[in-house]
Amino acid sequence: MQVISSKDNEIIKKIRSLKEKKYRDIENSYIIEGIKLVKEAIAEKTKIRQIVICEECLDNEIDKDTLYEIAKYDVIYVTEKVFNLITDVKTPQGIIAVVEKSNTQNQIDYSQDIIVVLDGIQDPGNLGTILRTVDSANLNQIILSQGVADPYNPKVVRSTMGAIFRLNIIESKNIIDTLKEIKNNKFKVMVTALDTKKSIYNVDYNKKAIVIGNEANGVSKEVQVLADEKVKIPMLGKTESLNASVATGIIVYEYVRRKL
């Protein structure tokens, strides 16, 4: 078994480059880290291009069945020094995988009741939590406007807890055109806003595109003009607005409550 010990190895250089969005886009792939995410990727039959293992820092709790599954892939072994150049976490588990992006088709699925659309969400933690929430409601897609944090950023990927493997992430080049297309397919556009009396509890959730806005500025004016409905989350305290991921969770789970 050959163990790579040089940071100048071409394979290592290529993997390290995936820390930057530019190279993730060029290679159409991204990095996942930790045994849980790797196991999830295998279970979801995600296209894994390569698995990197550092035996010196490998988590001893990895079971034999998982090691057997991992062995079916292109596995390379590296020293701890080299692994530390690749890892993005403070306490690595000794395993990283390079995964192919799954959004090869940018087509919207109109068979579902609601479509979640993010307009300018910039915080990676918020984005990852939203992806996880959407997946938990058995929704299979999400639409991102330009300016949204990169969904394949390592922090986003970690916070999705595996949801990223099950979602079709559609990155819109022009959110207005995308929403017009959605409206043409008999969906109504619903936006979150403060300047309305209509509550999220007083609307239906049938064939709706629900737009969640930027953390600081909310939904953009251009999108608000296009909207069929404006809604807000009623609040009893003095706080005027909620964290974007919290707001998404409340709205999505009002939809879930109706389904139940």
User: 216 to each of 26, 133, 170, 182, 244, how far by Cα in Å?
Assistant: 31, 21, 23, 26, 9
CA separation for the pair 49, 61 (Å, rounded):
24
Kindly report the average pLDDT of the chain as a whole number.
Answer: 93
What residues contact residue 119 under an 8 Å CB cut-off, 6+ apart?
145, 148, 175, 211, 212, 213, 214, 219, 220, 223
Contact criterion met (CB below 8 Å) for 83 and 52: yes
Domains in the chain, CATH or no CATH each: 3-100 (3.30.1330.30), 114-259 (3.40.1280.10)
Contact criterion met (CB below 8 Å) for 32 and 153: no
Q: What tokens appear for 230 in the block?
A: 């404006």
Query: pTM for this structure?
Result: 0.91
Query: What is the arithmetic mean of pLDDT over 125-143?
Result: 96
pLDDT tens figures, 17-66: 999 999 999 999 999 999 999 999 999 999 999 999 998 877 666 778 88
CA separation for the pair 2, 169 (Å, rounded):
37
Residue 104: is its pLDDT beyond 60?
Answer: no
Lowest mean pLDDT among 115-119, 132-136, 231-235, 249-253: 231-235
Contact criterion met (CB below 8 Å) for 167 and 141: yes
Q: Output helix, strand, coil percentages for the chain, rounded to the nearest 5.
A: 40, 20, 40
Residue 142: what pLDDT? 97
Residue 151: what pLDDT? 96
Query: What is the arithmetic mean of pLDDT over 80-89?
Result: 93
Nearest to 194 by CA among 217, 170, 161: 217
Nearest to 94 by CA among 131, 129, 127, 61: 61
Q: What tokens appear for 60 in the block?
A: 């001893």
Query: What is the arithmetic mean of pLDDT over 68-96?
Result: 92
CA separation for the pair 109, 80 (Å, rounded):
44
Residue 59: what pLDDT? 65
CA separation for the pair 91, 147 (Å, rounded):
31
